[in-house]
A and B are shown apart, each in its own frame.
Chain A
């Protein structure tokens, strides 16, 4: 009898363990696609506090504000008008249900011109293909060092196009070994709620089901920021984030 009891206890323990481990893996990454008809949106601005002097803006130029951004360094590009920060990836990380994941048919392009990658930061959804071009009349290489996504290292001559698909969420650094200074970032995200800020630091994320979420902000030099946001149905939530 005792033996049976013991076996029973063992069986219960094992099955519990199984359930726990199963729920662990399922709790990690589940994103269900639903119809979002009455979603809200976030519009915001990412700023850099230690930044650009606004005084030197020449308003006599009229509409021609060609160089309205100021590069504090290669990595930190700040708008002279409002101190907005360029190339920041803004995303909702803890969202569990939302709009359909759609991979764009026209691939995002990363070009190498005058020994630098343009654009510097690209954010894509999992499963998206990226075209990497070479616009310089000399040899470049494109090299990534990932573990989960298959890494690659190709030589690329003039006008060469390399298409690569990224299957797992990861922040990937793309480098050229011939010109050590140049590199670009590809941020692969596992849900479609993200944006990269423009040269005035603005971003916009649409069709979010109402609820409270964490807004995650990533910049290559200045690091991460986090903010709680609450989305109401058919309303625009305004957010301001400041790197100080």
Chain B
């Protein structure tokens, strides 16, 4: 092998290794690894909260920070212990991992960014601070996470079944619209638990707030979104039907129509 070729090969390898390392670093916060989450409020947690969270969520977690007025959807008020994105049943408190995941991923279609600019330790340290704002964490414990069954393969049959559930059984269209654009007949009058108007989600955008994987979508209608009109359909469907509905909802995504693609 000529030295020049070797040199270019080495250059290629090193470039590849650098990019893969960079990729790993950027992907690292997205894989919810087991992080040790402190049980007590720490100084680091308080400092991180007041620097990065308080401007929107307020010093006492009431969702009334100085920026809150100009935001919609409103920053979450932590005093009721109502967290949207969970793996636990309707109304239950979230697990620490659920909160950690929301902080790390952020919430698309809102002003909550993925907080991967913070270290894992910093993100974890905020969690006891959030929990200290609500008396719910003193009286109640989070329920066990709901079971997610083995995913079925999407096919024409399951999509048809999902469509039937969407349109007839659960009547999702009443809020989310027949085409999933969030324009159903009951859509305009919805408000959240804190009295702010809230829009049913427009599935065609494809940017699901709790994550885009099929498991995420499955969990959203199984656990419901606490603090919003979105109920839990835990008692209505079998595991297979849930996957069918998940695949149908995912099939409503029309990214080519979305202007902010």
Tally of A-B residue pairs with Cβ under 8 A?
70
CB pair A154 B92 closer than 8 Å = no
CB pair A177 B236 closer than 8 Å = no
Within 8 A of B (CB), among A125-155: 138-139, 141-145, 147-148, 150-155
Q: Check B224 for interface membership: any CB of A closer than 8 A.
A: yes
Instruction: Please give the number of chain B residues whose Cβ is less than 8 angstroms from any Cβ of chain A in the complex.
Output: 31
Q: Check A60 for interface membership: any CB of B closer than 8 A.
A: no
Among the listed A138, A145, A150, which residue makes an inter-chain contact with B171, where contact means beta carbons less than 8 Å apart? A138
Residue with the highest number of chain A CB atoms closer than 10 Å, among B82, B186, B229: B229
Q: Check A216 for interface membership: any CB of B closer than 8 A.
A: no
CB pair B186 A177 closer than 8 Å = yes
Q: Check A168 for interface membership: any CB of B closer than 8 A.
A: yes
Q: Check B135 for interface membership: any CB of A closer than 8 A.
A: yes
Residue of B nearest to A139 (CB): B171
- Residues of chain A within 8 A (CB-CB) of B139 are 148, 168
CB distance from B88 to the nearest CB of A (A): 10
Q: Mark B81-97, 1 if CB is under 8 A from A, else 0.
A: 11000000011100000
- Residues of chain B within 8 A (CB-CB) of A138 are 171
CB pair A143 B229 closer than 8 Å = yes
Instruction: Please give the number of chain A residues whose Cβ is less than 8 angstroms from any Cβ of chain B in the complex.
Output: 22
CB pair B170 A139 closer than 8 Å = yes
**CA separation between A142 and B140, bound complex, in Å?**
21
**CA separation between A219 and B238, bound complex, in Å?**
42
CB pair A155 B231 closer than 8 Å = yes
**CA separation between A154 and B90, bound complex, in Å?**
7
CB pair A153 B235 closer than 8 Å = no
CB distance from B136 to the nearest CB of A (A): 5
CB pair B229 A141 closer than 8 Å = yes
Q: Apart from A147-B134, A155-B170, what 7 extra A-B contacts exist at CB < 8 Å?
A: A141-B229, A143-B231, A147-B136, A152-B90, A153-B232, A160-B236, A177-B175
CB pair B140 A153 closer than 8 Å = no
Among the listed A154, A168, A180, which residue makes an inter-chain contact with B231, where contact means beta carbons less than 8 Å apart? A154
CB pair B232 A180 closer than 8 Å = no
Whether A177 contacts B226 in the complex (CB less than 8 A), given A139-B171, A151-B91, A155-B236, comes out as: no
Q: Check A162 for interface membership: any CB of B closer than 8 A.
A: yes
Q: Check A157 for interface membership: any CB of B closer than 8 A.
A: yes
**CA separation between A152 and B231, bound complex, in Å?**
8
- Residues of chain A within 8 A (CB-CB) of B229 are 141, 143, 153, 177
Q: Give chain A's interface secondary structure class.
A: loop
Residue of A nearest to B80 (CB): A147
A-B contact pairs, 12 of them (CB 8 A): A148-B140, A150-B92, A151-B226, A154-B224, A154-B234, A155-B233, A160-B235, A162-B235, A168-B139, A178-B186, A180-B186, A180-B189
**CA separation between A22 and B233, bound complex, in Å?**
44
Those 8 A-B pairs whose CB atoms lie nearest each other, nearest first: A177-B229, A152-B91, A151-B91, A155-B231, A139-B171, A141-B231, A153-B231, A145-B193
CB distance from A144 to the nearest CB of B (A): 8
- Residues of chain B within 8 A (CB-CB) of A144 are 91
Within 8 A of B (CB), among A153-208: 153-155, 157, 160, 162, 168, 177-178, 180
Q: Check B48 for interface membership: any CB of A closer than 8 A.
A: no
**CA separation between A152 and B88, bound complex, in Å?**
12
Among the listed A147, A150, A151, which residue makes an inter-chain contact with B135, where contact means beta carbons less than 8 Å apart? A147
**CA separation between A150 and B81, bound complex, in Å?**
10
- Residues of chain B within 8 A (CB-CB) of A145 are 80, 82, 193
- Residues of chain A within 8 A (CB-CB) of B134 are 147
CB pair B80 A153 closer than 8 Å = no
Q: Mark B221-253, 1 if CB is under 8 A from A, else 0.
A: 000101001111111100000000000000000
